[in-house]
Structure 1
């Protein structure tokens, strides 16, 4: 009879979970023993970076990914990064080591007390198998729960379980498959089509799930069929629509009152693939203008249940888009050309304005470049200058937790090796995931990191004004030289001082990671 480890490895191999992101500890070594040659172990130097890389990789490939963490301490280190994976609905299967079973009750060193409760309520499912023979089944449940819920799951396994003999009832798990279908029923479909047809001035709000599901081009077709203005949902982590398209109005502000103002004059707001809504700054007001109805379509039942207003249909946004495209007549009036590139603002200082940096990226990088962005204070400049027309062009920390950007760029570069990848990272956020540079160097990933250095937590400066606390300490971070840090991790780096020098550097296409440090003027997110 094979061991629990062998059955588990074979299950993971059959399911395609052969890339493992991890930072091992003693409790994890028995699982990693005898790992088949088909597996690839991607080492990260900190668990936060490990989860960020796995998050980027899973989003880029569209597949679940296995993450291996060290007991309670490694899991704790990863929790901040895990908040982003939860908000982006990334199906990570987090497997953590646990002390041997006899040592858990006495709380021996490296025992994770009440391990399944540690990661709640972040993860969608968490468990520790009751016995060794239940490990393969529990591992399968962790994967299927992650796929069905589109949310990370967590499994803690005592390390003496891996060498135990698997019972014969472990073997059927190898052939398991779980599938889901979410098309609306006929009555629901008729109701939905009737609501959209009856609308005089419909408005579309698209969420990151649209891009995650590969519906970017389908969303464009639907908007053009409706001739409807399009907003991206607040707190956007993926771009669901071309940002220069004539129907695109931008990313909705993350406050109650300004969202309602954006909806004025529209009788129906159709929200596809987004929660309603992920507000941020507290700007109270009515949820909806008088006379405006909201209809949400999402395959996330939890998001549908917790929305504070509107009607919701739990169904696949892709199936609904297809349904509407078949039911709605084509528009006779074309939508018009894409908006042209604006001239960037220049800084009134020796430093570059962020708009100059983003204009250079837009002009010098290929059109299909994938950007992983973690520079909140430059948000307004980013959307003004960039021209993103391809699916998978934009990734952002979904929960706003710093530390996703650098690791996420590494993960996206590993998952999308057929397109250029650029990390646009602020100096404040870079420190949270800086160790990901080492992984990029070890794998010689051709990822470009554009490091925007303004010596400040720029977004917090903006918030300090919003909250009326202009004297808050700890907002400046002088004295950081990321070129020296990057070179210490094995990544070639360059300090760029002018727009033309930046453009010349971006025009190069090295086959290895690089970091371009650019000093920028301080700006605000909006």
Structure 2
């Protein structure tokens, strides 16, 4: 009879999970024994960076990814990064090693006591199989739960299980397939079309799921046929619509009152592929203006259940967009300029000292890099400058930490670049956030990932300074981080680096196309997120 390890490896290979991101410990080594040559193990030097890289890779490829973690300590190290994967609905399968079964009860060193509870409530499903023969089935469930829920899952496996006899019934797993269809019924489709076409002045709000599902271009067609203005949902992690399209109004502010103000004058708000809503700043007000209805369409049952207002249809956004496009063969009277009339970016602002204004950096990125460049952004204090200067017209052009926790950006950029090796990828990273995932540079160097990291150094946690003003805490300590030279840090990890201080020099550097990772450090003036 085959071993648990052999059946599990073959199952993973048939399911396409042959790239593993991890940082193994002693409990994990038995799983990695006899790993077939068709597998690739991507080593990260810290579990936070491991999960961030896997998150970026899974988002870029659109496929689930296996993550290898070390017992309770490694799982704990990964949890900060995991919050972003949860919020971006990334299907990660986390498999952690556990002590041998007889050692768990006595709490031997490296035993994870109640391992499934450790990762809850973050993951969508967590388990530790009751016996070795159940490991392959539980591994399959972890994968299918991650796919169906679009949420990370967690499986703890005692390391003596891998060599155990899997039993003849375990082979039945190898041919399993699980598919999902969330097409609205004919009655639901008719209702949705009637609500939208019957509205006097509809408004579209698009979430990151639109881009994750490959609906970027379809969303443009839908908005143009409606002649409807478009907002991106607040706390945006993927860009669902070209940001310089004449119908685009920007990213909704993440406060109740400002969101309601943005909806003024519209009788129907159709929210596609987003929760309602992921607020951040506590700016109270009415959820909706008087006379405004809201309809949410998403395949996220949890988001539907917890929404505080509006009607909802639990369905695939792809199916909903498809039926709406079919019903809107003829565009409405256009309420906006033609789609070809994209708004140009304004002249970039300059700073009052020797440092570059972030807008100068972003204008250089926009002008010097290919139009299909994918940007992984974790520089929160430069948010307003980013949207003033960038011109993003392609699907998969923008990735941002979905839960707002720092540490996704640098590892995420490495993962996106590994997942899309034929597409230019740039990480736009602040000096505050870079420290949370700095070890990802080593992985990029080892795999010779063609990635450009533009490191914006302003010597402080700029977003926190802005929040200090918002919350009436202007004198909070611990906001400055002077003395960091990321060129030397990156060189130590094996990544070629340079410090650029002039806009023209920056443009010349960005015009180069190296086939390896590099870091470009730029000193920038302090700005605010909005």
In terms of mean alpha carbon deviation, does 413-422 or 333-342 score higher? 333-342
| Counterpart Cα distance in 2 of 1:348 and 1:329 | 52
Please list, as runs of the form range in 1=range in 2, the aligned pairs for 1:7-406 lying within 5 A after superposition.
Answer: 7-331=7-331, 333=334, 335-336=338-339, 337-406=341-410
For residues 262 and 448 of structure 2, what CA distance do their matches in structure 1 show? 45
Q: Is the 8 A contact 1:247 1:335 kept in 2?
A: no
- Structure 2's unaligned 5+ residue stretches are none
Q: 1:493 maps to which residue?
A: 497
What is the aligned counterpart of 2:447 among 443, 451, 456?
A: 443
Compute the TM-score of the two structures, normalised by the length of structure 2: 0.99
Work out the number of aligned pairs and report it.
526
| Paired residue secondary structure (2:160) | coil
Cα deviation, 1:214-267, whole Å, max 9, x if unaligned, reads 000000000001000000000000000000000000000000000000000000
2:464 aligned with 1:463: no
CA distance in 1, matches of 2:171, 2:352: 68
Q: Please list the CA deviations of residues 56-86 of structure 1 after superposition, one character each: whole Å capped at 9, or x if unmatched.
A: 0000000000000000000000000000000
State how far apart, in whole Å, the 2-side matches of 1:117 and 1:175 are. 31
Instruction: Report the Cα offset of residue 478 of structure 1.
Output: 0.3
2:415 counterpart residue number: 411
- 1:110-163 Cα offsets, whole Å, 9 max, x none, are 000000100000000000000000000000000000000000000000000000
Q: 2:232, 2:345 → 1: CA distance?
A: 20
Deviations 1:408-461 (A, max 9, x none): 000000000111000000000000000000000000111000000000000000
Partner Cα separation in structure 1 for residue 439 and residue 197 of structure 2: 52
* Residue 425 of structure 1: aligned partner: 429
Separation in structure 2 between the aligned mates of residue 127 and residue 71 of structure 1, nearest angstrom? 13
**SS of corresponding position for 2:510:** helix
Distance 1:340 1:330 in 2: 28
**1:160 aligned counterpart, secondary structure:** helix
- Cα distance in 2 for partners of 1:498, 1:69 equals 43
CA RMSD of aligned residues (A): 0.6
Q: TM-score, normalised by structure 1?
A: 1.00
Query: How much does 1:329 deviate?
Result: 4.0
8 Å CA contact 1:227–1:335 kept in 2: the answer is: no
Distance across 1 between alignment mates of 2:429 and 2:325: 39
CA distance in 2, matches of 1:478, 1:418: 37
d(CA) in 2 for partners of 1:236 and 1:416? 21
